Structure 1
Amino acid sequence: MKSKFKFIVIFLLIFLFLGYFFVYRPVKKIQAKVSELLPKVKDLKAAFSKNDIDLLDKKLAELSKEYKNFENEAKNVYWLSFIPYVADFKNGVEAGEYLILAAKQIVETMAPYADLIGFKKGSSSFVEQSAEERLHTAVVTLDKILVKIDPISSNINQAEKRIDLIDPDRYPEKIGQLIIKERIKNLKEQILAVSSLFVEAKPLIKNLPEILGKDKEKTYLILFQNDKELRSTGGFLTAYAIFKIKD
Structure 2
Amino acid sequence: MKKIELVSSEKPEIEKEEIKPKKNKKIVKKLAIIGGIIVLLGTLLTFFLVLPSLQMKDEALLLTNEAKQMSESLQAQDLNKTIEKLQATKEQFSTLNASYRKLAWLRIIPLVSNFYKDGEHLFAGGGYLLEAADVTVESLEPYADILGFEREKNEEKKEGETKKEMTAEERLILMLDTLEKIQPNLDKIGEKLELARQEIDQIDSQRYPEKIRDKKIREKIATLIQTIDGVAEIMIEAKPIIGYIRPLLGVPDQKKYLLLFQNDAELRPTGGFLTAYAILTVHNGNFETLGSYDIYSLDARFGNRLQPPEPIKKYHKNVYYWHLRDMNLSPDFKDS
Which TM-score applies when normalising by structure 1? 0.75
1:114 aligns with 144
Which structure's CA Rg is the greater one?
A: 2
Structure 1: segments with no counterpart, 5+ residues: none
Q: Distance in 2 between matches of 1:230 and 1:37?
A: 50
1:162 aligns with 199
Structure 2: segments with no counterpart, 5+ residues: 1-25, 285-336
Whether contact under 8 Å (1:88, 1:165) holds in the other structure is: yes
CA pair 157-8 structure 1, distance change in 2 beyond 3 A = same
CA RMSD of aligned residues (A): 3.9
2:133 aligns with 103
Instruction: Note the C-alpha offset of 1:178.
Output: 2.2
CA pair 206-104 structure 1, distance change in 2 beyond 3 A = farther
Q: Deviations over 1:56-84 (max 9, x none)?
A: 11111111111111112222224534622
Structure 1 residue identity aligned to 2:84: K
Of 134-143 and 30-39, deviating more is: 134-143
Whether contact under 8 Å (1:37, 1:63) holds in the other structure is: yes
1:90 aligns with 2:128: no
CA pair 230-157 structure 1, distance change in 2 beyond 3 A = closer
Instruction: Note the C-alpha offset of 1:150.
Output: 1.6
CA pair 78-118 structure 1, distance change in 2 beyond 3 A = farther
Count residues in correspondence.
243
Q: Distance in 1 between matches of 2:215 and 2:242?
A: 41
Match of 1:151, SS state, is: helix
| Percent identity over paired residues | 28
Q: Which structure dedicates a bigger proportion of its chain to helix? A: 1
Instruction: Note the C-alpha offset of 1:156.
Output: 0.6
Whether contact under 8 Å (2:180, 2:242) holds in the other structure is: no
CA pair 136-73 structure 1, distance change in 2 beyond 3 A = same
Whether contact under 8 Å (1:92, 1:163) holds in the other structure is: yes
1:31 aligns with 57
2:103 aligns with 77
The 5 Å alignment of 1:211-230 reads: 220-227=255-262
With a CA cutoff of 8 Å and minimum separation of 6, indicate the structure with the bigger relative contact order: 1
Match of 1:120, SS state, is: coil
1:147 aligns with 184
Q: Distance in 2 between matches of 1:143 and 1:221?
A: 24
Whether contact under 8 Å (1:218, 1:244) holds in the other structure is: yes
1:41 aligns with 2:67: yes
